[in-house]
Amino acid sequence: MSISSVGVVGAGQMGNGIAHVMALAGYDVMLNDISQDSLDKAMGVITRNLDRQVSSEKISAEEKVAAIGRIKTTLDLPELGQTDLVIEAATENETVKNKIFEALLPHLKPETILTSNTSSISITRLASRTDRPEKFMGFHFMNPVPVMKLVELIRGIATDEATYKECLSVVENLGKTAASAEDFPAFIVNRILMPMINEAVYTLYEGVGSVKSIDESMKLGAAHPMGPLELADFIGLDTCLAIMNVLHDGLADTKYRPCPLLTKYVEAGWLGRKTKRGFYDYRGDVPVPTR
């Protein structure tokens, strides 16, 4: 089959970015969420991000108008059933994801490829709860989606070669690079990245350095564009904790034990940029370290 239409479940930070790049690449996009407010906000974000690309002369004004015209929004999940490729980009919670797939299955075309943008959850396990494990893959975009060039493609134990090749061709059409990953906890990027962030939190927890000194050390001493604690706030501390728990549970190695301080921040509801507080306080004009 040739993919021409894409359904995106979830209009949050990842979902609106996926809808953006898909529409810009010429795919018809159906963007779904459970909240009309979320869909309206997503379209606002997509429009602003496309405007930014026009201003920087990455795309033309005509391309922007055409991309927006390819995106339709819906509160009705079954409407996504007639698309060729579905990308689930809901919250990083396996129960939520399984409920979405369960609701979608009766409405899917037999040939529709089902994928998840999960950053850590077992693709094999998610696929096993569907009627098409051979047509199920991990399709993991990096954040922010319009900027980042990598997509991890993760095959479950049952994923067939035709499904992989179709998804690979989509990634290439987007002008991005695919990294093929095996289905083990957190795949490639987060298997390496999250323990680094967790170790930075331990370094803070043990008083080795302050928020500022840890982030400056990694930016100036290791040429990282963003410090690990600043990056954690950008990703979301709840997401970081969820991935560390997947690594710890799935690999049973104490080196993946989430730092108690990371858990404490999440318990406080200080999840980073999205809640205005995390390792930095974002409520003023300039972010201020909270420790």
Residues belonging to the binding site for NAD(+) are: 10-15, 33, 92, 97, 119, 143, 274
Q: Does the active-site annotation cover 152?
A: yes
Catalytic residue among 5, 32, 152, 198: 152
Calpha distance 290→176 (Å, rounded): 36
Calpha distance 13→147 (Å, rounded): 13
What amino acid occupies position 144?
P
Asked if 22 contacts 6 with a C-beta cutoff of 8 angstroms, the reply is yes
Give the sheet arrangement for strand 150-155, strand by strand: 71-74, 28-32, 5-9, 85-88, 113-116, 136-141, 150-155, 177-182
Q: Does the active-site annotation cover 117?
A: no
Catalytic residue among 5, 49, 140, 230: 140
Catalytic residue among 16, 49, 190, 198: 190
Residues belonging to the binding site are: 10-15, 33, 92, 97, 119, 143, 274
Q: Give the torsion through C-alpha atoms of 53, 278, 223, 140, to 10 deg.
A: -60
Q: Does the active-site annotation cover 230?
A: no
Closest residue by Cα to residue 240 from 148, 138, 143, 156: 143
Q: Does the active-site annotation cover 32?
A: no
Catalytic residue among 5, 38, 117, 119: 119
Closest residue by Cα to residue 85 from 109, 59, 121: 109
Residues catalogued as catalytic: 119, 140, 152, 190
